Amino acid sequence: MTPNWFHRSAIAVRAPGSGGSLQMNSWNTVTLVNRDRLVAARVIIRPFGDQDAAQVRALFIAVNRLLSPPDLRDAFEAYIERALVEEIDRIPAYYGERDGGFWVAFSGHKVVGTFGLERASDDAMELRRMYVHPSARRQGIARQMLQWAEDECRRRNVTRLDLSTAEIQQAAFALYRNAGYRLVREETLEALSNKTVGSGIRRYYLEKMLQ
């Protein structure tokens, strides 16, 4: 059964680089609308379901191992283990407890992207776990997911979206700045948590006011 913190609504966003638009149907899946015809989309975004757990888990592990600098392998393995226990292996409970949600992007039967939202304050949500499978990068999937997350915030009457990324994720940092996110602060973190490896990695905190 779909958790009650997922919703069904109609949201339309412009399709990057196309003459059509990306529209959310009643199940929050994306289809490409072009010349008044519905055609199959290459990427479908929908709420996380239990059947997605294994692929989401594998994607989380793979992405973070690829991010790991050679001298921080042990620290990243500890981070992965902690995040699996506290968050990734209990996604419906974790995000439900935080007034949020979690979504997956599919190409065919393969999960190629993920992202989550959790409540940061009365008027803000925090973007979490926005990952794209290495084989599906540079295809605009991250931009589509970011737009989806912003539209979900607007649907909830949330006026600000917060997020953070690390110095080892320069492509993500550039994506967010190009999408209008403002750098709020930088921190060098030492402590391990389910949200950060710590280990002296600098982290950037950004926000965007949503209209």
Which candidate, 162, 111, 116, places its Cα nearest to that of 132?
111
**Is CATH 3.40.630.30 the right assignment for the domain spanning 12-209?**
yes
> Are 115 and 128 in contact, with CB atoms under 8 Å apart?
yes
What's the pLDDT score for residue 12? 34
pTM of the model: 0.80
Determine how many CB atoms are found less than 10 A away from the CB of residue 193: 12
Indicate the average pLDDT of the chain.
85
What's the pLDDT score for residue 211? 81
What's the pLDDT score for residue 36? 28
Crossing angle of helices 73-86 and 53-67, rounded to 10°: 160
What's the pLDDT score for residue 154? 97
Report the alpha-carbon angle 39-45-46, nearest 5. 115
Determine how many CB atoms are found less than 10 A away from the CB of residue 132: 23
Only one residue has tokens 């931009």, namely 143
Q: How many CA atoms lie within 13 A of 38 on its CB side?
A: 6
**Where do the structural domains in the chain lie, given as residue ranges?**
12-209
Reply yes or no on whether the pLDDT at 115 is more than 60: yes
Phi, psi of 73, deg, nearest 5: -55, -45
- How does pLDDT run across 145-181, given as a tens digit for each residue? 999 999 999 999 999 999 999 999 999 999 999 999 9
Q: How many CA atoms lie within 13 A of 71 on its CB side?
A: 3
Three-state SS for 89-105 is: HHHHHHHHHCCCEEEEE
- How does pLDDT run across 1-48, given as a tens digit for each residue? 333 333 333 233 333 333 344 444 444 444 433 322 223 347 999 999
What's the pLDDT score for residue 55? 98
- How does pLDDT run across 57-108, given as a tens digit for each residue? 999 999 999 999 999 999 999 999 999 999 999 999 999 999 999 999 999 8
